[in-house]
Chains A and B, each alone.
Chain A
Amino acid sequence: EPEVTQTPSHQVTQMGQEVILRCVPISNHLYFYWYRQILGQKVEFLVSFYNNEISEKSEIFDDQFSVERPDGSNFTLKIRSTKLEDSAMYFCASSRKGLAGGGQETQYFGPGTRLLVL
Protein backbone atom coordinates (compact mmCIF):
# COMPACT_ATOMS: atom_id res chain seq x y z
CA GLU A 1 0.00 0.00 0.00
CA PRO A 2 1.46 3.40 -0.95
CA GLU A 3 2.46 5.64 1.93
CA VAL A 4 3.88 9.04 2.70
CA THR A 5 7.50 8.92 3.78
CA GLN A 6 9.52 11.52 5.67
CA THR A 7 13.20 12.01 6.29
CA PRO A 8 14.91 12.31 8.62
CA SER A 9 12.95 10.64 11.39
CA HIS A 10 14.79 12.75 13.96
CA GLN A 11 16.78 15.95 13.62
CA VAL A 12 18.72 17.87 16.24
CA THR A 13 19.90 21.36 15.39
CA GLN A 14 21.33 24.43 17.04
CA MET A 15 19.19 27.51 17.48
CA GLY A 16 19.63 29.83 14.52
CA GLN A 17 20.46 27.08 12.05
CA GLU A 18 18.41 26.24 9.00
CA VAL A 19 16.74 22.85 8.64
CA ILE A 20 15.06 21.17 5.71
CA LEU A 21 12.50 18.48 6.36
CA ARG A 22 11.77 16.17 3.47
CA CYS A 23 8.65 14.34 2.46
CA VAL A 24 7.75 12.04 -0.40
CA PRO A 25 3.96 12.14 -0.83
CA ILE A 26 1.95 9.32 -2.34
CA SER A 27 2.73 9.32 -6.03
CA ASN A 28 -0.67 10.15 -7.54
CA HIS A 29 -1.53 12.76 -4.92
CA LEU A 30 -1.69 16.38 -5.91
CA TYR A 31 -2.24 18.21 -2.63
CA PHE A 32 0.37 18.41 0.07
CA TYR A 33 0.36 19.63 3.63
CA TRP A 34 2.60 20.26 6.61
CA TYR A 35 1.42 20.05 10.20
CA ARG A 36 3.31 20.29 13.45
CA GLN A 37 2.70 18.87 16.90
CA ILE A 38 4.52 20.33 19.86
CA LEU A 39 5.11 17.63 22.45
CA GLY A 40 1.94 16.84 24.35
CA GLN A 41 -0.16 19.27 22.34
CA LYS A 42 -2.54 19.05 19.44
CA VAL A 43 -1.69 18.84 15.80
CA GLU A 44 -1.58 22.26 14.13
CA PHE A 45 -1.95 23.04 10.46
CA LEU A 46 0.94 24.92 8.87
CA VAL A 47 0.43 25.03 5.12
CA SER A 48 -1.21 23.41 2.12
CA PHE A 49 0.34 23.30 -1.34
CA TYR A 50 -1.10 22.63 -4.75
CA ASN A 51 0.07 23.21 -8.30
CA ASN A 52 3.43 24.50 -7.10
CA GLU A 53 2.04 27.17 -4.89
CA ILE A 54 0.74 27.65 -1.39
CA SER A 55 -3.04 27.40 -1.29
CA GLU A 56 -3.47 28.17 2.38
CA LYS A 57 -1.29 28.83 5.39
CA SER A 58 -1.82 29.39 9.07
CA GLU A 59 -0.59 32.23 11.23
CA ILE A 60 2.18 29.94 12.44
CA PHE A 61 3.61 29.78 8.92
CA ASP A 62 5.51 33.05 8.93
CA ASP A 63 8.50 34.22 6.90
CA GLN A 64 10.71 31.79 8.77
CA PHE A 65 9.05 28.92 6.92
CA SER A 66 8.98 28.00 3.27
CA VAL A 67 7.86 25.01 1.24
CA GLU A 68 9.00 23.71 -2.08
CA ARG A 69 8.43 20.87 -4.46
CA PRO A 70 11.87 20.78 -6.07
CA ASP A 71 11.15 17.78 -8.27
CA GLY A 72 8.32 15.42 -9.10
CA SER A 73 8.50 13.48 -5.88
CA ASN A 74 9.82 15.51 -2.95
CA PHE A 75 8.01 18.11 -0.88
CA THR A 76 10.15 20.05 1.57
CA LEU A 77 9.64 22.32 4.55
CA LYS A 78 12.48 24.73 5.26
CA ILE A 79 12.80 26.48 8.57
CA ARG A 80 15.26 29.35 8.49
CA SER A 81 17.00 30.40 11.70
CA THR A 82 15.34 27.87 13.97
CA LYS A 83 14.10 28.84 17.40
CA LEU A 84 13.72 26.78 20.54
CA GLU A 85 9.95 26.83 20.14
CA ASP A 86 10.22 25.19 16.74
CA SER A 87 10.96 21.92 18.53
CA ALA A 88 8.08 19.66 17.55
CA MET A 89 7.01 16.70 15.47
CA TYR A 90 6.44 17.78 11.89
CA PHE A 91 4.01 15.77 9.81
CA CYS A 92 3.71 15.81 6.07
CA ALA A 93 0.41 14.72 4.53
CA SER A 94 -0.97 14.34 1.05
CA SER A 95 -4.33 13.85 -0.59
CA ARG A 96 -5.38 12.89 -4.07
CA LYS A 97 -7.76 15.78 -4.47
CA GLY A 98 -8.50 18.96 -2.64
CA LEU A 99 -10.43 18.53 0.55
CA ALA A 100 -13.55 20.31 -0.56
CA GLY A 101 -16.19 20.49 2.10
CA GLY A 102 -18.03 17.29 2.84
CA GLY A 103 -16.41 15.14 0.22
CA GLN A 104 -14.58 12.11 1.50
CA GLU A 105 -11.03 12.82 0.57
CA THR A 106 -8.63 11.65 3.19
CA GLN A 107 -5.27 13.06 4.04
CA TYR A 108 -2.61 10.43 4.53
CA PHE A 109 0.04 11.34 7.05
CA GLY A 110 3.71 10.46 7.04
CA PRO A 111 5.41 9.11 10.15
CA GLY A 112 6.73 12.54 11.11
CA THR A 113 10.10 14.15 11.73
CA ARG A 114 10.91 14.94 15.31
CA LEU A 115 12.84 18.20 15.40
CA LEU A 116 14.76 19.27 18.46
CA VAL A 117 16.26 22.75 18.58
CA LEU A 118 18.94 23.28 21.21
Chain B
Amino acid sequence: AQKITQTQPGMFVQEKEAVTLDCTYDTSDQSYGLFWYKQPSSGEMIFLIYQGSYDEQNATEGRYSLNFQKARKSANLVISASQLGDSAMYFCAMREPGAGGFKTIFGAGTRLFVKA
Protein backbone atom coordinates (compact mmCIF):
# COMPACT_ATOMS: atom_id res chain seq x y z
CA ALA B 1 0.00 0.00 0.00
CA GLN B 2 1.14 3.50 -0.78
CA LYS B 3 1.99 5.61 2.19
CA ILE B 4 3.62 8.81 3.38
CA THR B 5 5.83 9.02 6.47
CA GLN B 6 6.64 12.18 8.35
CA THR B 7 8.86 11.25 11.28
CA GLN B 8 8.98 14.64 12.99
CA PRO B 9 5.80 15.33 14.97
CA GLY B 10 7.15 18.74 15.99
CA MET B 11 10.00 21.02 15.01
CA PHE B 12 11.36 24.25 16.41
CA VAL B 13 13.29 26.81 14.37
CA GLN B 14 14.63 30.24 15.15
CA GLU B 15 13.19 33.08 13.11
CA LYS B 16 15.23 33.80 9.95
CA GLU B 17 16.87 30.37 9.98
CA ALA B 18 16.21 27.56 7.52
CA VAL B 19 14.41 24.37 8.47
CA THR B 20 13.94 21.01 6.77
CA LEU B 21 10.80 18.96 7.24
CA ASP B 22 11.25 15.31 6.37
CA CYS B 23 9.00 13.20 4.20
CA THR B 24 9.46 9.72 2.82
CA TYR B 25 7.01 7.90 0.63
CA ASP B 26 6.36 4.42 -0.55
CA THR B 27 5.00 3.58 -3.96
CA SER B 28 5.55 1.07 -6.69
CA ASP B 29 4.23 3.42 -9.34
CA GLN B 30 6.64 5.21 -11.69
CA SER B 31 4.40 8.22 -12.20
CA TYR B 32 3.31 10.12 -9.13
CA GLY B 33 3.17 13.59 -7.68
CA LEU B 34 4.32 14.90 -4.33
CA PHE B 35 2.89 17.92 -2.54
CA TRP B 36 3.35 19.92 0.57
CA TYR B 37 0.47 21.71 2.24
CA LYS B 38 0.46 24.15 5.14
CA GLN B 39 -2.35 24.13 7.69
CA PRO B 40 -2.33 27.12 10.02
CA SER B 41 -4.31 27.13 13.26
CA SER B 42 -7.33 28.47 11.38
CA GLY B 43 -7.60 25.06 9.71
CA GLU B 44 -7.47 25.71 6.00
CA MET B 45 -5.16 23.71 3.72
CA ILE B 46 -2.77 25.87 1.73
CA PHE B 47 -0.88 24.40 -1.23
CA LEU B 48 2.84 25.17 -1.04
CA ILE B 49 4.81 23.21 -3.59
CA TYR B 50 4.64 20.33 -6.05
CA GLN B 51 7.18 17.82 -7.37
CA GLY B 52 6.47 15.39 -10.19
CA SER B 53 8.16 12.03 -10.22
CA TYR B 54 9.67 12.76 -13.63
CA ASP B 55 10.90 16.22 -12.76
CA GLU B 56 14.69 16.24 -12.81
CA GLN B 57 15.06 19.49 -10.93
CA ASN B 58 13.97 20.17 -7.39
CA ALA B 59 10.88 22.34 -7.19
CA THR B 60 11.14 25.81 -5.70
CA GLU B 61 8.45 28.32 -4.80
CA GLY B 62 9.76 31.44 -3.14
CA ARG B 63 11.12 30.48 0.28
CA TYR B 64 10.00 26.88 -0.19
CA SER B 65 12.06 24.25 -1.92
CA LEU B 66 11.63 20.54 -2.18
CA ASN B 67 14.66 18.30 -1.82
CA PHE B 68 13.60 15.40 -4.01
CA GLN B 69 15.68 12.24 -3.80
CA LYS B 70 13.89 9.72 -5.91
CA ALA B 71 16.12 6.73 -5.21
CA ARG B 72 15.67 7.24 -1.49
CA LYS B 73 11.97 8.04 -1.93
CA SER B 74 12.23 11.23 0.03
CA ALA B 75 10.72 14.65 -0.60
CA ASN B 76 11.83 16.96 2.16
CA LEU B 77 10.52 20.51 2.39
CA VAL B 78 13.06 23.24 3.05
CA ILE B 79 11.82 26.58 4.32
CA SER B 80 14.45 29.28 4.13
CA ALA B 81 14.49 32.41 6.27
CA SER B 82 11.70 31.24 8.59
CA GLN B 83 9.07 33.76 9.62
CA LEU B 84 6.74 33.76 12.60
CA GLY B 85 3.85 33.25 10.23
CA ASP B 86 5.35 29.93 9.16
CA SER B 87 4.26 28.39 12.45
CA ALA B 88 1.73 25.79 11.36
CA MET B 89 1.16 22.14 10.62
CA TYR B 90 2.82 20.92 7.42
CA PHE B 91 1.58 17.91 5.50
CA CYS B 92 3.43 15.95 2.86
CA ALA B 93 1.13 14.27 0.37
CA MET B 94 1.34 11.95 -2.60
CA ARG B 95 -1.00 11.63 -5.49
CA GLU B 96 -1.66 8.15 -6.72
CA PRO B 97 -2.22 7.55 -10.40
CA GLY B 98 -5.48 6.07 -11.48
CA ALA B 99 -8.48 6.59 -13.63
CA GLY B 100 -9.96 10.08 -13.71
CA GLY B 101 -9.75 12.17 -10.57
CA PHE B 102 -8.25 10.22 -7.75
CA LYS B 103 -6.99 10.50 -4.29
CA THR B 104 -4.14 12.18 -2.53
CA ILE B 105 -2.63 10.45 0.48
CA PHE B 106 -1.41 12.60 3.34
CA GLY B 107 1.25 12.04 5.96
CA ALA B 108 0.61 12.58 9.65
CA GLY B 109 2.10 16.06 9.53
CA THR B 110 4.84 18.02 11.25
CA ARG B 111 3.99 20.94 13.51
CA LEU B 112 6.50 23.73 13.03
CA PHE B 113 7.10 26.33 15.72
CA VAL B 114 9.05 29.44 14.73
CA LYS B 115 10.67 31.22 17.68
CA ALA B 116 11.27 34.96 17.74
**A binding-site residues for B, Cβ under 8 Å:** 30-33, 35, 41-45, 48-51, 55-56, 58, 89, 91, 93, 95, 98-104, 106-112, 114
Contact = CB atoms under 8 A, between A and B. Distances in A.
Contacts of B47: 106-109
Nearest to B59: A104
Nearest to A100: B97
B113 interface: no
Interface in B34-79: 35, 37, 42-47, 50, 52-55
30 contacts: A33-B104, A41-B108, A42-B91, A43-B91, A48-B100, A49-B101, A51-B100, A55-B99, A55-B101, A56-B98, A58-B103, A89-B43, A98-B99, A98-B100, A98-B102, A99-B95, A99-B101, A99-B102, A100-B97, A101-B33, A101-B97, A102-B32, A102-B33, A102-B53, A104-B50, A109-B37, A109-B46, A112-B43, A112-B44, A112-B45
A101 B31 contact: yes
Chain B interface size, under 10 / 10 to 19 / 20 to 34 / 35 or more: 20 to 34
Contacts of B104: 33, 35, 45, 99, 107
